[in-house]
Structure 1
Amino acid sequence: MTASTTTMTPRKSRIKKYRTTILVLLAAAMVINYLDRSALAVAMPFIANDFNLTPAEKGIIFSSFFLGYALFNFVGGVLADKIGPKKVMAWSMILWSTMCGLVAGAFNFWSLLVLRVLFGVGEGPISTTANKVVNNWFPLKERARSVGINQAGGPLGGALSGPVVGVLAVYFGWRVAFVVIALIGLTWALIWYFVATDTARQNSRVTPAELAEIEAGTRVEQAEDEAVARDAPSMWKAILQPAILATALSLFCYNYILFFFLTWFPSFLVDAQGVSLAGMSVVSALPWVAGTFGYMGGGYLIDYIFRRTGKQFFSRKVVLVTCLLICSVCVGLTGMVASATSAVTLMTVAVGFLMLAAPAYWTLINDAAPKEYVGSAGGLMHGLSNLSGIVAPSITGAIVATSTYTGAFVLAGGFGVVGALVIWAGVRQRQDVRPEVPVA
């Protein structure tokens, strides 16, 4: 008995080690993703001064990113299913990091516009492809928390962007900031290339015990894969489900709040609340910090409710609806308060609850879509929802140019309420799928 215990202890350590490495890299990719993406919002006051941009032009620049981004959410998901997530993640990071670095060479409104569209093309596949990696690498009982930890890198990157980009812009100029973060992304791509594989089964560093744990409890057992592939529905039939489309509509509303905050909140603090550029770089990071803990907490909360109740669908839905409603109320109130302290506090609470709801979207897609089409279904949901990235910054720019920020905040909060109601009333559990019981 003693000898058996001795041999199993290090093996258990190895079981958890390698998929943790993959998860750390995924989270790091999301940190870089949002560090790069948020950099423009933080640097915009500096760029607007250099290029003499109007509020409407700033809104167009913010929106241009999503022209390429929304399209390649879907393209990236399809490619992840067809050629594997490892290649898609690597080339995505290389492309967007290159475009980020080239922003340092922008010289007017039009050059910045083109670079932002191409930047969006590069970033488009990242979240959908990361979700495909989680689906390939993690057992069902760990999916929600793995999604949460992975996606928590996004708000962490947003939190870092304020101090990092702000300090670099103040002391070295905003162009230097874009070059530095581009180099970080290219370094990640090199590491990912040598460390990752599409599935755990393909990776020689994964032990048989870990592979058995990863593949246990999934809807489609490994031994049935060939039969499932022969009988699989067409991609479009598999992903054009009411539940997936309703989830995409709700995520559109969710993303309206996210992109409104991501693109306009730093400018709101400077223009409407009188915060200095240096102060903005610091305080605008606080909501992102709350969002980081929210994302991780959301994944663990969903898995906890699932574990306690055995209700897979309920665990996703109750967290999403409750948290999105709380967020929406806080967003609407932010535009009505008079002080910067109150505005930052309310938005910090709002973003915390917004991110708390986020893992539910990706786990709902994992539940709804056949395993072989998880990337495509996630890409469709993500692509349709990210059209809000075109809408939110432009509408906000038009509102700010003709009125005040108050209406923009109230509108964003209203979108959140609609998103919660869509999930509550419009997303039903599939009757043809046996709910899976979590393994304690």
Structure 2
Amino acid sequence: MTEKPTTRKRFNILAMIFITVVINYLDRSNISIAASALQEDLGIDSIKMGYVFSAFAWTYALLQIPGGAIADRIKSRVLYTFIMVFWSIATLIQGMVNSFTALIGLRASIGFFEAPSYPINNLVVTRWFPENERATAIGIYTSGQFLGMAFLLPILTLIQDAFGWRGLFIISGIIGLVWAAIWYFFYRDPKDHKSISESELNYIQEGGGLIETKKQTEVKEKFNWEDIKEVFSYRKLWGLYIGQFCLGATLIFFLTWFPTYLVKYRGLDFLKSGFLASIPYLAAFVGVLLSGFTSDYLTKKGYSVETSRKLPIIIGMLLSIGVIGANYTDDTFFIILFLSISFFGNGLASIAWVFISLIAPTRLIGLTGGAFNFIGGLAGIVVPIVIGYLVKDGDFSPALFFIGGIALLGFVSYTFIVGKVERIVPKNK
């Protein structure tokens, strides 16, 4: 029987990852708060703004697979510090730009440096947590993107009101630089952590935590282009890829155009919009927690995988269509209600990653996950640009129909294209 740990250093590390995720999303989404004032000062129309919103994802999506490979090879303490410093500098410099082109370049550079961040988060949790605690740990740090933004949006709005949109970017960048220094000085892998007890180290290792980091790279198959072809050769996997793109579309709307929609297209007071905008993020946070709890509860009760794993996603996708309801009311309460229902649904559907481990060919789970995340990341490229064109005449309703339509496609994809949840076994392997 494993000895009860006398220290709980792994939870300190989890708190550090949570804060890092909050800063990660602060620096990728503060552009949404600044958008209205920035457009006015720099003379950027809605079409160009769509490209600005999209630029982050150009590099972020394309570098997901290389980013994961780099994360495997460089110590998390060093790599995270390096990329955080450079994405924070790019964030800070945004406060000094005077041109559309410079803004595009800086947004793309932030995506470039943030690309390895989630692979690093996953590696850190894999090293620091036994398998029976890992899902909870992942759920906690992932919730940082919603809970953090729910509380940060009003604060960011107040910062911009006091210091302008340039001050918002400069302060955001400084926060990131400070946290990068804290990460470097305090983070260590389990074997290198001086104050972790031997009992906690044993507890992590005996529970499946990969504390021996170098062993992960000793036995690796050579890269094969046929493997790339294979992960794009199955209907079930395409169902997952399409579903992830659709899931990402709703998230991207809230990370980019949402505050602009409230201020510019709904005429809400800027400060008031910052507080109201936090409500859908809280709804999404509840959805994330409820999805994991409900799915695990149904699994323990003996329900089939189709019910326990697919049900939250299918219901979530259906609820996400509710964003369209905001087109049929001018009442602020109901606008926020429909948007909150939609984002709650997005959070509820967020357990989609579980299907990679359940469906992907056994030897290609990692590569399939990279493809899955890449296709999902394409939503960040496509959606902001399409919305920019749809709203160029001053009417945002076509954009909400667009987001709702993509959510409907996600529902269809998980229900009919993915089909039965079962492991893919290649016939020629």
- TM-score, normalising length: structure 2: 0.86
The reply to whether residue 271 of structure 1 matches residue 264 of structure 2 is yes
1:416 to 404, 407, 414: 407
* Maintained 8 Å contact 2:156/2:168: yes
Which is helix-richer, 1 or 2?
A: 1
Distance 1:19 1:305 in 2: 28
The reply to whether residue 327 of structure 1 matches residue 327 of structure 2 is no
Could you tell me how far 1:318 is from its partner in structure 2?
2.7
Distance 2:179 2:40 in 1: 32
* Maintained 8 Å contact 1:269/1:340: no
Match of 1:29 in 2: 20
Could you tell me how far 1:226 is from its partner in structure 2?
7.1
Match of 1:132 in 2: 123
Opposite residue 411 of structure 1, the aligned amino acid is F
Opposite residue 310 of structure 2, the aligned amino acid is K
Q: Deviations over 1:293-344 (max 9, x none)?
A: 332333333333344438678643332222222222x112223322222111
SS at 1:387's partner residue? helix
Distance 2:287 2:50 in 1: 28
Q: Deviations over 1:17-50 (max 9, x none)?
A: 2221222111111111111222111111111111
RMSD in angstroms over aligned alpha carbons? 3.3
Identity of aligned residues (%): 28
Q: Which moved more, 1:270-279 or 1:364-373?
A: 364-373
Opposite residue 37 of structure 2, the aligned amino acid is F
* Maintained 8 Å contact 2:360/2:423: no
The reply to whether residue 155 of structure 1 matches residue 146 of structure 2 is yes
1:341 to 333, 354, 358: 333
Could you tell me how far 1:52 is from its partner in structure 2?
1.5
Q: Deviations over 1:42-78 (max 9, x none)?
A: 1111111111211111111111111111112222112
Could you tell me how far 1:393 is from its partner in structure 2?
0.8
1:210 to 179, 182, 200: 200
Opposite residue 115 of structure 2, the aligned amino acid is G
Distance 1:231 1:100 in 2: 37
- TM-score, normalising length: structure 1: 0.84
Q: Residues 227, 22 of structure 1: CA spacing in aligned structure 2 closer, same or farther, 3 A cutoff?
A: closer
Q: Residues 89, 221 of structure 1: CA spacing in aligned structure 2 closer, same or farther, 3 A cutoff?
A: closer
Opposite residue 152 of structure 1, the aligned amino acid is S
* Maintained 8 Å contact 2:159/2:168: yes
Distance 1:375 1:92 in 2: 22
The reply to whether residue 99 of structure 1 matches residue 76 of structure 2 is no
The reply to whether residue 185 of structure 1 matches residue 170 of structure 2 is no
Distance 2:124 2:401 in 1: 37
Q: Residues 265, 252 of structure 1: CA spacing in aligned structure 2 closer, same or farther, 3 A cutoff?
A: same
* Maintained 8 Å contact 1:368/1:430: yes
Could you tell me how far 1:126 is from its partner in structure 2?
1.9
SS at 2:391's partner residue? helix
What pairs up with 1:231-250 in 2 under 5 angstroms?
232=221, 234=223, 240-241=230-231, 242=234, 245-250=238-243
The reply to whether residue 303 of structure 1 matches residue 293 of structure 2 is no
Opposite residue 280 of structure 2, the aligned amino acid is P
The reply to whether residue 356 of structure 1 matches residue 312 of structure 2 is no
Could you tell me how far 1:245 is from its partner in structure 2?
4.8
Distance 1:276 1:423 in 2: 39
Match of 2:54 in 1: 63
Q: Residues 345, 412 of structure 1: CA spacing in aligned structure 2 closer, same or farther, 3 A cutoff?
A: same
Match of 2:251 in 1: 258
Opposite residue 78 of structure 1, the aligned amino acid is A
Distance 1:90 1:67 in 2: 22
Runs of 5+ consecutive residues of structure 2 not aligned to the other structure = none
Distance 2:182 2:339 in 1: 35
Distance 2:37 2:281 in 1: 21
Could you tell me how far 1:99 is from its partner in structure 2?
0.7
1:170 to 161, 164, 187: 161
Q: Which moved more, 1:178-187 or 1:332-341?
A: 332-341
Opposite residue 113 of structure 2, the aligned amino acid is G
Q: Which moved more, 1:331-340 or 1:26-35?
A: 331-340
SS at 1:335's partner residue? helix
* Maintained 8 Å contact 1:94/1:185: yes
The reply to whether residue 89 of structure 1 matches residue 80 of structure 2 is yes
* Maintained 8 Å contact 1:291/1:356: yes
Q: Residues 129, 363 of structure 1: CA spacing in aligned structure 2 closer, same or farther, 3 A cutoff?
A: farther
Opposite residue 430 of structure 1, the aligned amino acid is R
Distance 2:211 2:106 in 1: 43
Could you tell me how far 1:351 is from its partner in structure 2?
1.2
What pairs up with 1:279-294 in 2 under 5 angstroms?
279-294=272-287
The reply to whether residue 122 of structure 1 matches residue 113 of structure 2 is yes
* Maintained 8 Å contact 2:361/2:424: no
* Maintained 8 Å contact 1:33/1:157: no
SS at 2:292's partner residue? helix
* Maintained 8 Å contact 2:88/2:172: yes
Match of 1:390 in 2: 381
Q: Deviations over 1:77-109 (max 9, x none)?
A: 121233354444332222211111110111121
* Maintained 8 Å contact 2:358/2:422: no
Could you tell me how far 1:233 is from its partner in structure 2?
7.3
Distance 1:216 1:306 in 2: 25
Q: Deviations over 1:122-153 (max 9, x none)?
A: 22222233223333333333333222211111
SS at 2:266's partner residue? coil
Distance 2:50 2:171 in 1: 25
Distance 1:116 1:212 in 2: 43
Distance 1:269 1:395 in 2: 18
Q: Residues 87, 67 of structure 1: CA spacing in aligned structure 2 closer, same or farther, 3 A cutoff?
A: same
Q: Residues 118, 374 of structure 1: CA spacing in aligned structure 2 closer, same or farther, 3 A cutoff?
A: farther
* Maintained 8 Å contact 1:273/1:339: no
Q: Residues 171, 54 of structure 1: CA spacing in aligned structure 2 closer, same or farther, 3 A cutoff?
A: same
